[in-house]
Amino acid sequence: MKVLLIGSGGREHALAWKLSQSNRVTEIMVAPGNGGTAVLPKTHNVPVAAEDIDQLLTLARQESIALTVVGPEAPLVDGIVDRFNDAGLRCFGPLAAAARLEGSKAFAKDFMLRHNIPTAAYANFSELSDALAYLQNQTMPVVIKASGLAAGKGVIIAETKAQAEQAVRSMLEHNQFGDAGQQVVIEQFLCGEEASFIVLASGTDYIAFPSSQDHKRAFDGDLGPNTGGMGAYSPAPVVTDKIQALIETRVIQPSLQGLADDGLAYTGFLYAGVMIDDTGQPHVLEYNCRMGDPETQPLMMRLNSDLVDLIEAALDNQLAAFDVSWDQRPALGIVLAANGYPGAYSKGSILSNLPSPSDDLMVFHAGTKLNDNQQPITAGGRVLCVTALGDDFTAARAHAYATIEQITVADCFFRNDIGHRALKH
């Protein structure tokens, strides 16, 4: 079968790598892909942007694509699955109306309130004066969120009322987040440890993936600005069996049931970002309507089952009978990023001394492309993610660090403490 995979990040390289291992797959087209997907077996890139739904639809028709898998959120929120389904094409992901769980934080908060899913107390605003008045009675810190998609940059944790006021003004008055900031969520600050919990869902049936955890801040010690994620590992030791059971019964099951009850039955990957407080209670920070990046990289290293079978089982409502198999060993990935990321950064540095892949080590590319000599060069903020499986976290981490240190490239950095929480547990 021919598969179309949409996206260009490390998540997509990991998904393409796993899809390419399926005996049922003859060819994978990645739109637009990166320097890693360009050289995977059976796989090639096509120069169509992930947001260009018209072109993607034309491509899928022309190429007789049997299955389309969507990596990033933007096309899902824009209704790619609706469009493909209308054209009679199989496309894995939620419909636009259900993808609003990620596309509108205000919608997601109202949804959680309505379905009694634990989350921080909040209020939604589109009028500046109302938001400013509400802030007067809040205790600090408080969290201000642009409701729409903002590539992970739309969340501001304000320590003082002045900062909170400035954040609200930046969104509702100065329009710094464009349409995404036309509505804001103001919510209570939650303390605890974050984890990522991803399921593959088909209506109210789901397969829970092993827990994972990423490092959002740019620098060692969890300092510096928020990023898309500087490293990730699976499992997340904070998610004990007991806490996993709570996440499933208090978050995942009521979310899928609530969606179905609201007429928004969900097919696709559903990602709940949860904060686990010191009594072990999970609260939802956000939903994503897709896999995490870089969480996907360690998760795909651990998945033994055929990913095409898994996705088709979800599309065919056969998840309940699916026996998924995981590698019991932990996996850990370290992101190499361009200097300056998540702000402005330079591109075009040649990457050399990249190790060959092996059963327990993969270098998943993200912001890379091949130059005219077929050498990979940097082309994005997050450049790649070195991901290793190990008998324990210490071994996986040592292998990933030994590998990333060998890579030769100018103007890039990585964190030196990926996995520090996992090791502490």
Tell me whether residue 138 or residue 226 sits nearer to ligand AMP (CB atom). Answer: 226
Tell me whether residue 16 or residue 164 sits nearer to ligand GLY (CB atom). Answer: 16
- Could you tell me how many residues of this chain bind ligand GLY (CB under 6 A)? 7
- If one asks whether residue 387 binds ligand GLY (CB under 6 A), the answer comes out as no
The CB-of-255 to ligand AMP minimum distance in angstroms stands at: 15
- Could you tell me how many residues of this chain bind ligand AMP (CB under 6 A)? 13
- If one asks whether residue 288 binds ligand GLY (CB under 6 A), the answer comes out as yes
82: left (phi over 0), alpha (psi -120 to 50) or beta: alpha
Find tokens 């620098």 and name the residue.
219
- If one asks whether residue 214 binds ligand GLY (CB under 6 A), the answer comes out as yes
Contacts of range 391-398, beta carbons closer than 8 Å, 24 or more positions apart? 391/329, 392/329, 392/330, 393/233, 393/237, 393/330, 393/332, 393/419, 393/422, 393/423, 394/423, 396/233, 396/329, 396/330, 396/331, 396/332, 397/332, 397/423
- If one asks whether residue 273 binds ligand AMP (CB under 6 A), the answer comes out as yes
The CB-of-214 to ligand AMP minimum distance in angstroms stands at: 8
Residue ranges of alpha helices (H) inside 93-141 are 96-103, 105-114, 128-135
- If one asks whether residue 120 binds ligand AMP (CB under 6 A), the answer comes out as yes
Say how many Å lie between the first and final Cα of the chain, rounded: 43
- If one asks whether residue 205 binds ligand GLY (CB under 6 A), the answer comes out as no
Find tokens 């651990």 and name the residue.
302
Tell me whether residue 19 or residue 247 sits nearer to ligand AMP (CB atom). Answer: 247
Q: At a CB cut-off of 8 Å and minimum separation 6, what does 383 contact?
A: 335, 336, 337, 338, 351, 365, 366, 367, 368, 409, 412
Pick out residues in 367-406 that bind ligand AMP (CB under 6 A).
Answer: none
- If one asks whether residue 212 binds ligand GLY (CB under 6 A), the answer comes out as no
- If one asks whether residue 342 binds ligand GLY (CB under 6 A), the answer comes out as no
189 binds, among ligand AMP, ligand GLY, none (CB under 5 to 8 A by kind): ligand AMP
φ, ψ (nearest 5 deg) of residue 207: -115, 120
The CB-of-143 to ligand AMP minimum distance in angstroms stands at: 4
Q: How far apart are CA 272 and CA 109, in angstroms?
A: 13
Pick out residues in 224-243 that bind ligand GLY (CB under 6 A).
Answer: 228-229
Q: Which amino acid is at 79?
A: G
Part of the chain binding ligand AMP (CB under 6 A), chosen from 65-73, 188-196, 233-241, 397-405: 188-196
What is the contact mask toward ligand GLY in residues 164 to 203, using x (rule: CB under 6 A)? ----------------------------------------
Pick out residues in 290-309 that bind ligand GLY (CB under 6 A).
Answer: 292-293, 295
Tell me whether residue 277 or residue 327 sits nearer to ligand AMP (CB atom). Answer: 277
Residues in the chain: 425
The CB-of-11 to ligand GLY minimum distance in angstroms stands at: 7
Tokens, residue 364: 């998943």
Tokens, residue 209: 């993936």
214 binds, among ligand GLY, ligand AMP, none (CB under 5 to 8 A by kind): ligand GLY
Q: How far apart are CA 201 and CA 298, in angstroms?
A: 20
Q: How far apart are CA 57 and CA 55, in angstroms?
A: 5
The CB-of-78 to ligand AMP minimum distance in angstroms stands at: 19
CB crowding 374-384: b at 16 or more within 10 Å, else e: eebbbbbbbbb
**Binding-site ranges for ligand GLY (CB under 6 A):** 214, 228-229, 288, 292-293, 295
**Binding-site ranges for ligand AMP (CB under 6 A):** 120, 143, 145, 155, 187, 189-190, 194, 216, 226, 273, 285-286
